[in-house]
Structure 1
């Protein structure tokens, strides 16, 4: 009976984490759409909804600590709980960056826009959103191989980031009226790039969950045995 109750609590933890992931993914999608379409109402929705994401992260942390303190889980179970705690923290930061994109939308006032850069940003955002969806699915299935593959996709996000940066620099040099708008493009670009980095972090936690090893993906770091 004790084991059944613990398994039920653990399953509930996973479900709540997955729900938080969907909330964050929606925030990313809405924030970029708001920025590209100059939709300040939608941007405000993202900002207002961030409270729920923060509350979910606090709730997951509280439940995780309670399970560790009261049930003293064995090594494998402890890895699951630690993964939820760490990965939910990464999700919360991704939500914060979505809010930052939304705030950029509200801050922009009649700046000269660049459709070509906005189209590239939209492509970058689509890729990031896809990675978020994939990493949540890999987490649910505890799929280590897929996590490694998803992490490699972050290199494409970095390529988008470099391309947008160069486009913005070129535009500012050619037309001084675009300087303020281009700086906002670069900010949004940096927020999306960081979200991609947090996806990679979650990939690392999926591998930890499956293997007990903490590794640093997309780098030359050596693997470290943990649990």
Structure 2
């Protein structure tokens, strides 16, 4: 019985490490996707697009380990909750990586075209989202509920930046309709970052559920 528990704990630890590795890849993807846009760096954009395969492989690994644990160990209560949360977190992280790819694809579409304005608010938004991602993973590692609740305030900051970016871009489009394509692309980027923040907040909610057994609405 003790040996079974040790094996179970070992695989749970493996599950935890895969999620941490996913989080690290996602943080890099967020940073590099926005940097590729800001610097019109097509090679960096392609690197972000290619790196998505690694995130997908790790999500599959989470599914494999978790499914095997449920099938062979029949966990209950907190152990089962821990596995179910791993599935949810992996899905949120995978979606964040997809959104980073979407930003990289905007870089590719924009090419070397000069921006209608210096990119200031979008990189600032990305900094907050990257911090949220880091804090959400830290909250998971430490099972830190207070850090999870911090997500709500940071998500509000991202939402505010998103609104300000949209207002400014729509004014610029009205002033010069020739900018419509680039304005729409930048609006999409802002929306992608706003969605990333929502997924990071979802991870915060999962951590609260892990610790307390109830899921709050932090979005």
CA distance in 2, matches of 1:122, 1:145: 26
CA contact (8 A) 1:113 1:178 kept: no
> Residue 137 of structure 1 corresponds to which residue in structure 2?
138
CA distance in 2, matches of 1:163, 1:6: 49
The Cα of 1:217 is off from its aligned counterpart by: 1.8
TM-score by length of 1: 0.92
> Residue 98 of structure 2 corresponds to which residue in structure 1?
96
> Residue 108 of structure 1 corresponds to which residue in structure 2?
110
Instruction: Tell which deviates more after alignment, 39-48 or 176-185.
Output: 176-185
Q: Tell me the matched-pair count.
A: 217
CA contact (8 A) 1:112 1:178 kept: no
CA RMSD of aligned residues (A): 1.1
CA contact (8 A) 2:125 2:193 kept: yes
The Cα of 1:74 is off from its aligned counterpart by: 2.3
CA contact (8 A) 2:45 2:107 kept: yes
The Cα of 1:175 is off from its aligned counterpart by: 2.0
> Residue 69 of structure 2 corresponds to which residue in structure 1?
67
> Residue 15 of structure 1 corresponds to which residue in structure 2?
17
CA distance in 1, matches of 2:169, 2:114: 12
The Cα of 1:214 is off from its aligned counterpart by: 2.2
Which whole-Å deviations, capped at 9, do the CAs of 1:72-128 have from their partners, x for residues lacking one?
112111111111111110000000000000001001145451334x11111111111
Structure 2 unaligned runs (5+)? none
Which whole-Å deviations, capped at 9, do the CAs of 1:30-59 have from their partners, x for residues lacking one?
001001110010000000010110111011
CA contact (8 A) 1:111 1:178 kept: no
Which whole-Å deviations, capped at 9, do the CAs of 1:152-195 have from their partners, x for residues lacking one?
21000000000000110011112233221111110100000000
The Cα of 1:207 is off from its aligned counterpart by: 0.5
Structure 1 unaligned runs (5+)? 219-227
> Residue 222 of structure 1 corresponds to which residue in structure 2?
none
CA contact (8 A) 2:55 2:94 kept: yes
What SS is found at the alignment partner of 1:80?
A: helix
Is 1:80 the counterpart of 2:74? The answer is: no
> Residue 221 of structure 1 corresponds to which residue in structure 2?
none
> Residue 224 of structure 1 corresponds to which residue in structure 2?
none
CA contact (8 A) 2:33 2:103 kept: yes
